Amino acid sequence: MNALGTPLGPPLALLAELTHRCPLGCPYCSNPLALDRVRDELDTATWLRVIDEAAALGILQIHFSGGEPLVRRDLATLIGRASAAGLYTNLITSAVLLDEARLAALAEAGLEHVQISFQDTEPANADRIAGYDGGHGKKLAAARMVRAAGLALTINAVMHRQNLAHLPDMIALALDLGAGRLEIAHVQYYGWALANRQSLIPRREDVRAAVAIVAAARERLKGRLVIDHVVPDYYARRPKACMGGWARQFVNIAPSGLVLPCHAAQGIPNLRFDSVKERSLGDIWAASDAFERFRGTAWMPEPCRSCDRREIDFGGCRCQAMALTGDAGATDPACALSPHHAQLLAMAEAESAAAEPAAFVYRRYAKTPREAELPA
């Protein structure tokens, strides 16, 4: 049973963050500011056990992610086990380390789908945003390899102030590369992205224009390209149901083995996360303190508690509530009914109007900036 008093189903999908190592330095990386070290990463045997536990729990899809999952030498072994257990296998990658031999080995192991991130369509700007010279060209080549190998391809495009003008070109690029799906996600501001918010946040009118561009493209490309669009919360009137609701549909495992309801949950203090090193995935899903804390609706304060959307958006995003109000149990300030909403909107409008965006704080594996180095 869960906090709603109804039987708890299995999560739909597992995000397996194999490592925080990554050659890129995207300033909106969804990894936590304090990155897990190599020596703390789960070993192959533990991942194999966890994959079996995921299948036994009833999980249908596994997304191998990071950091950059291609840095793990055991990736094909893990994909092979997941495929043999009947899980749909997806690789989420920057693709700059992908070559034909590696791709062939992963496909042979059972890989079905690849998601490749693009930072922009203009090569020099893409490489600048990623903090990686020559990366854009490698991604183009990798995407073509994926299609030539007969695997399904999704393009991930994180949009923000410094690439939003190229949105139509991004849609054209996804078509040209033969992707079946394009995920257009405006930056969500926690972790690294919060540290870089002043350099990333777009103007409200540009977001409005982007919504219209996506709507027209969806109509025009029906049956050829599926376009998912995540708009920035700050300009919304109601929040998104982050992760489909806390601990309802998705489960993340961090490189060190901590099991999380979402990729950013480690930024919430006073939550106790269990590790697959000590408990089974099924046990953690059913009864971990961190999962139970915001599952369902019983934890909600007003205005969520008496709102008729409480089982639609589940009060929005806990990590955003934490980042913006200091209280993970507060109504997400993206909601116009939150007492913090007006302040959030004013701040978004002021920051996005700045003539010059601030310099990026890049996410670097070897050098995590100290608090003092991050912009206020």
Q: Which residues bind ligand SF4 (CB under 6 A)?
A: 238-239, 303-304, 307, 309-310, 313, 315-316, 331-332, 335, 337
309 binds, among ligand SF4, ligand FES, none (CB under 5 to 8 A by kind): ligand SF4
What track of x and - describes contact with ligand FES for positions 314 through 343 (by CB under 6 A)? Answer: ---xxx------------------------
241 binds, among ligand FES, ligand SF4, none (CB under 5 to 8 A by kind): none
Q: Is 15 in the site for ligand FES (CB under 6 A)?
A: no
> Which residues between 290 and 319 bind ligand FES (CB under 6 A)?
317-319
Q: How far is the CB of 248 from ligand SF4 (least distance, A)?
A: 14
The vertex-142 CA angle with 140 and 145, nearest 5°, equals 115
What track of x and - describes contact with ligand FES for positions 243 through 282 (by CB under 6 A)? Answer: x--x---------------x-xx-----------------
Size of the site for ligand FES (CB under 6 A): 9
Residues 268 and 319: beta-carbon distance below 8 Å: yes
264 binds, among ligand FES, ligand SF4, none (CB under 5 to 8 A by kind): ligand FES
127 binds, among ligand FES, ligand SF4, none (CB under 5 to 8 A by kind): none
Q: How far is the CB of 301 from ligand SF4 (least distance, A)?
A: 9
Q: Quick one: residue 10, left, alpha or beta (phi over 0 = left, psi -120 to 50 = alpha)? A: beta
Pick the closer one to ligand SF4 by CB: 202 or 316.
Answer: 316
265 binds, among ligand SF4, ligand FES, none (CB under 5 to 8 A by kind): ligand FES
Residues 300 and 229: beta-carbon distance below 8 Å: no
304 binds, among ligand FES, ligand SF4, none (CB under 5 to 8 A by kind): ligand SF4
Q: In the complex, which residues of this chain contact ligand FES (CB under 6 A)? A: 242-243, 246, 262, 264-265, 317-319
